[in-house]
A and B are shown apart, each in its own frame.
Chain A
Amino acid sequence: QSVLTQPPSVSGAPGQRVTISCTGSSSNIGAGFAVNWYQQLPGTAPKLLMYGNSNRPSGVPDRFSGSKSGTSASLAITGLQAEDEADYYCQSFDSSLSDYLFGGGTKLTVL
């Protein structure tokens, strides 16, 4: 069981908007540590998708957005495309464990 909790799966039709949640605690997200998001396309290595809660690295479409509130964070994808079908992981740092944490991952299916 991951310390950062994500829904195992989400789905949406092309063009729709989906959100993926990431719930932590007072020792990680709630302590002010930034949340990062990674996209892992099938059979490939993870790629940094969002950093510092809501910042997109160069090259990431603005269809992707991130937010954080309290002990939770969210990744939103608008204008869903078939190429967005992937696993998405949130990540933060935990002060009590002094470890980097990943969420359990969410599989996005584009219907």
Chain B
Amino acid sequence: EVQLVESGGGLVQPGGSLRLSCAASGFTFSSYWMHWVRQAPGKGLVWVSRIKGDGSSLKYADSVKGRFTISRDNARNTVYMQMDSLGAEDTAVYYCAREGSGSFTKTHDFWGHGTLVTVSS
């Protein structure tokens, strides 16, 4: 069974940093692109970043470029999001999602439960 479990969220002051983790199980982690998607309170889903299975390709939304860094450790089956220079606009639930393969390419076929990041003084 595919499982994605996020952790690392919490309350952080403006300008601060936080590192999110997403532990994966139930599939060959290194074979899949992994994504982060966020959802501000009462708002819609926004794609944030993605990383290729071997870590060789990364992409970010313009809103986080230069502040967020996605990475992965395939030995630990974990994907990370280092978030720096956080602002109130980054307050959201952050979801880890797997990009499917084959017919499910360019879909987010499995999602974690999310971790809440609150940026406030």
Residues of A within 8 A of B (CB): 2, 33-34, 36, 38, 40, 44-48, 51-52, 55, 57, 87, 89, 91, 93, 98-105
Contacts and interface: CB of A to CB of B under 8 A. Distances in A.
Contacts of B72: none
How big is the B interface, by class?
A: 20 to 34
Contact of A48 (B35, B59, B109): B109
Nearest to A44: B113
B109 A45 contact: no
Contacts, number: 63
A46 B107 contact: no
Given A52-B103, A57-B109, A98-B59, A45 B47 contact: no
Mostly helix, strand, loop or mixed at chain A's interface?
A: strand
Interface of B: 35, 37, 44-47, 50, 59, 61, 95, 100, 103-104, 106-114
Kindly list the 8 A-B residue pairs having the minimum CB-CB distance in the complex, ordered from nearest: A105-B44, A100-B47, A102-B45, A45-B111, A51-B107, A36-B107, A104-B44, A48-B109
A47 B111 contact: yes
Given A46-B111, A51-B100, A89-B45, 17 more contacts: A2-B44, A38-B45, A45-B111, A45-B112, A48-B100, A48-B107, A48-B108, A55-B103, A89-B44, A91-B45, A91-B107, A99-B47, A100-B47, A100-B50, A101-B47, A102-B45, A104-B44
